[in-house]
Structure 1
C-alpha cells in the first residue's frame, strides 16, 4: 500500500515538473520577442575559464547524485520533494530581467537555490540547479552549454552553500524561522550575482583591465538595477514558504532535521 502511495506522489511531482517546462517552452516558442539570455550568455566566457569552472562543478554534482540515492532510501517522500523543488528552481530562474548596462551578457532573475539548499542540502541543490540550467540552455536559449559550468558555479554552488550556511547561522542565533529563510534567500542571491560578476570580471584580464574594478562595477550594476529588489522579494518568499510548511506539514521539516519533533511553530 505504501509503495503505491509513494509511486503516486512521484508521478504527481514529475507531471508538475514536466508541466512547468512545457508552459515555458510554449511561452518561448510563441513569443515574438528576442529571448534574453539568462545567466551568462553562450560563448561569453574564455575557453580556459569555461572548462575550469565546469571541472570545479563536477564533484559537487557527483556528490549531489550520491546524496539523492542515499536519502531516498531514508525518507520515502524525498524524491517527490526533490521533484517539486526542482520545478520551483526552474520556474524561479525563468524570469529574466534584462540588465541594459551589461549589453546582453547576463540578466537578473530570482534563483530559488537558497530554498532548495535549506530543504534538501547544498549538494542536492547544486544538482537541481545544474539540471534546470541544462534544460534552459538546451530548450530556452537561456545561458549556454559553454557557460554551463560557470552558471552552475555561481547559481548552484555559491548560491546553494551561501544560503545553506546563512540559514544555519541565523538558526543557531535563535532567530525565528521566517527570518532564517529570509536571510538565506537574500544571501543566496547576493552570492549568486557576486559569482556572476566575478566570472564576467575575468573578461578584462586579457585586455589589461582591472579585474577587481570590473567585478565591483558589474556587481554594482546588478544591485542598483534589479537584483537588489529581487533579493528582498526572494527572501520574503523563502521565509513565508518555510513558515507555511512548518504550520501545514511540520513532519517534513522534522524528517529533514530542520526542527525538533513537537516544536512549536515560530
Structure 2
C-alpha cells in the first residue's frame, strides 16, 4: 500500500493530495473538538495510533513500487470515525516516510487516501451497519477491519491503474486491465493479512471493552446494553 517516493507521476500525486487535504483538515477540526470536550479519550487515541503504526510497519514486498501489510486504521475508524482516522494515518505515514523509508512524501496524499480515508470509511460503514443489525460485536469488528483493509488495497490498485494503465493511455479498457493485474497481485498477500488484522482487532477491542467500556459508551461507539451482554452482566 505504501507507494514509494517518486513512483506516482504528475499529475496523480498532486490529485491525491488535493483530494486528501480537505479530509485531513476536517479530521483535525474534529480531533481538536473531541479532545477539548473529552480529555479521557487520550489513552484510546494513543492505543489507536500505536496500533496503526505497528501493523502498517509490518511490510511485505508486493507490486514494484508498493508493498503489502495490515493497516490498523479500522480500529480508529470504529472508535473515532474516518476523519480522525485520516489524521492518525497521516501522522504515521509521515513518520514512516521520513524515518523508515516506508512510502514517501510525494505519494503521501495517495497513501493517506487509501489507508487513512478509503479503508476507514468502509470499516466505519460496515461497523455501523453490523451494530444496527444487532450482530455479534466482535464478529462485526472482525468484518469491519478486514474489509477496511481490503478496501485500502482496492483503492491502491485503482491509484496505480490510473497512473499506469495498460497501453500507457488512460482508457477504460487500459484502466481495467491494469487494475485487475494490480489487485490480483495484492490479493496473494492481502487476503490472509486482512483476516489476521480482523482477528487481532477483535482481540484488541475485547481488551478495550473490559478496561474502557465507559468511554466507548460515552462516545456512542457501543451501547451500554451491548457492553453488559459482552461482560455477562444482567440488565
Q: Normalized against structure 1, the TM-score is what?
A: 0.81
1:78 lines up with 2:41 in the alignment = yes
1:173 lines up with 2:136 in the alignment = no
| Distance in 1 separating the partners of 2:31 and 2:211 | 25
Could you tell me which residue of structure 2 aligns to residue 64 of structure 1?
27
1:111 lines up with 2:71 in the alignment = yes
Structure 1 residues 162-241: aligned runs within 5 Å: 162-205=122-165, 207-208=168-169, 210-223=174-187, 225-241=188-204
SS in 2 for 1:40: coil
Deviation at 1:80, TM superposition (A): 2.9
Could you tell me which residue of structure 1 aligns to residue 105 of structure 2?
145
Could you tell me which residue of structure 2 aligns to residue 20 of structure 1?
none
Could you tell me which residue of structure 1 aligns to residue 233 of structure 2?
none
Whether the 8 Å CA contact 2:12–2:163 is kept in 1: the answer is no
Whether the 8 Å CA contact 1:246–1:265 is kept in 2: the answer is no
Which range is displaced more, 255-264 or 176-185? 255-264
Whether the 8 Å CA contact 2:41–2:215 is kept in 1: the answer is no
Deviation track 1:111-164 (CA, whole Å, cap 9, x = no partner) reads 011111101111000000011001111111110111000000100110111111
Give 5+ residue unaligned stretches, structure 2.
231-235
| Distance in 2 separating the partners of 1:74 and 1:252 | 12
1:89 lines up with 2:89 in the alignment = no
Give 5+ residue unaligned stretches, structure 1.
1-37
Q: CA RMSD in A?
A: 1.5
Whether the 8 Å CA contact 1:114–1:184 is kept in 2: the answer is yes
Deviation at 1:187, TM superposition (A): 0.9
The number of aligned residues is: 225
Q: Normalized against structure 2, the TM-score is what?
A: 0.91
Deviation at 1:179, TM superposition (A): 0.7
Deviation track 1:178-227 (CA, whole Å, cap 9, x = no partner) reads 0110011111111100011011112333713711111111111111x211
